[in-house]
Amino acid sequence: MRDMRNVKIVDTTLRDGEQTAGVIFSNEQKLKIAKLLDKIGVHQIEAGIPIIGGDEKEAIKNIVKADLNASIMAWNRAEVDDIKASLDCGVDSVAISISTSDVHIKQKLKKDRNWVIRKMTETVNFAKKNDLYVCVSAEDASRSDRDFLIRFAKEAKAYGADRIRFCDTVGIMDPFNTKAAIEDLILAVDIDVEMHTHNGFGLGVANALAGAKGGAKYIGLSVNGLGERAGNPALEEVLMALKYLYDVKLDFEKDDFRELSEYVSKASSRDLPPEKAIFGTHIFAHESGIHKGENLKDISNYEVFSPEEIGTERQISIDENSTKNEIVNKFKEYGIKLNDSEADNVTKQAKKLSKKYRRALFDKELMYIYDS
């Protein structure tokens, strides 16, 4: 099992993320996203698919010209012409993707296993002759025959591939078999592995971390969990999990981190659910009377990290269960110091109004009570 501190982050927001139904980034947005990803320290950015041509190719060229610290990768089919298009963009790395499961080989490609090996090795050979870093992407690896997957990976390594991308394309794995599968693959082939998961059963983040625990040196992620169907594991969730669950210190500025999530949310026209981990608006909103009371004493009672760490603020909501002390502290947020009489009156009216509306009160409603 590798040291988790050596895990490297591959962001695929601009490739797999843009394959989210209805999401199209402009070239300007792609460049902005790439720069923000670079600022938070992402190791590699999968910038797009050059063979598409047109604006897609131009956007990748612009990202390469930005001279970022991150490695810039382009996605390719196992076709030499795809690699030529990537070379024309100036990227330093390529992902070469081809299916390895029998269901894909027979029904999607309508070929056989030997054809898959031949196409992959031909393309890898061409890419390495052109001094590219090569990641061979085993599409649908989670449904692939284990012996064939190992053969595939060994052939890729023999032709110079730098790593294998293990793709849980349809999102059917769980953390237990994910960790075991990656351990087995590394033991059999001794090659760097990237864990690429999808969120079909809500296990994308768990499987990404399990893959890393199993020895995967790279984790493929996307901002806000964008991606095909149910999406990819969310970059922000994995980064914070690595920091607080595995003591992996990643160097990023809190304001840049939040700006990245908010910018991608707007650019993709995908609002974040209030309960969304890390950047959801309710993550630091406390309603339960016990939670609020304990939080006022020590925030570590119900929060693992502070909102300031990710550039946001804590919210103490007021409802029918709120105490007088919570009301007093809430009004301190507005710069108002309540005396005992005011606090008693506001608490009584706030409880009454919250019960009537059957919800927590808005700040404006609290101020209306105070003013009246």
Tell me the C-alpha to C-alpha distance, in Å, between residue 349 and each of 99, 244, 337, 366.
64, 41, 17, 9
pTM of the predicted model, to two decimals? 0.81
Q: How much is the pLDDT for 302?
A: 60
Q: How much is the pLDDT for 154?
A: 98
Length of the chain: 372
Question: What torsion, rounded to 10 degrees, do the Cα atoms 84, 85, 90, 91 define?
Answer: -90
Tell me the C-alpha to C-alpha distance, in Å, between residue 213 and each of 146, 201, 234.
20, 20, 18
- Residue pair 264/14 in contact by the 8 Å Cβ criterion: no
- Residue pair 124/94 in contact by the 8 Å Cβ criterion: no
Q: How much is the pLDDT for 310?
A: 62
E-state strands within 223-291: 285-286
The sign one gets for the Cα dihedral 140, 143, 148, 154 is positive
Mean pLDDT of the chain: 89
More confident residue, 87 or 332: 87
Q: How does pLDDT run across 38-76, given as a tens digit for each residue?
A: 999 999 999 999 999 999 999 999 999 999 999 999 999
E-state strands within the chain: 8-11, 44-48, 71-77, 93-99, 133-139, 163-167, 192-196, 218-221, 285-286, 315-316
Residue 285 pLDDT greater than 60, yes or no:
no
Tell me the C-alpha to C-alpha distance, in Å, between residue 257 and each of 74, 150, 254, 279.
24, 38, 5, 10
Domains present along the chain, CATH in parentheses: 4-267 (3.20.20.70), 285-371 (no CATH)
Q: How confident is the model at residue 327 (pLDDT cuts 50, 70, 90)?
A: confident
Side-chain half-sphere of 5: how many Cα atoms within 13 Å?
A: 2
Cα separation of 225 and 300, whole Å?
27
Q: How much is the pLDDT for 253?
A: 60
Residue 196 pLDDT greater than 50, yes or no:
yes
Q: How confident is the model at residue 15 (pLDDT cuts 50, 70, 90)?
A: very high
Residue 256, token pair as written in the block:
């840049």
Q: How does pLDDT run across 203-260, given as a tens digit for each residue?
A: 999 999 999 999 999 999 999 999 988 899 999 999 989 988 888 877 666 667 888 9
More confident residue, 81 or 246: 81
Q: How much is the pLDDT for 296?
A: 47
Residue 57, token pair as written in the block:
């190719």
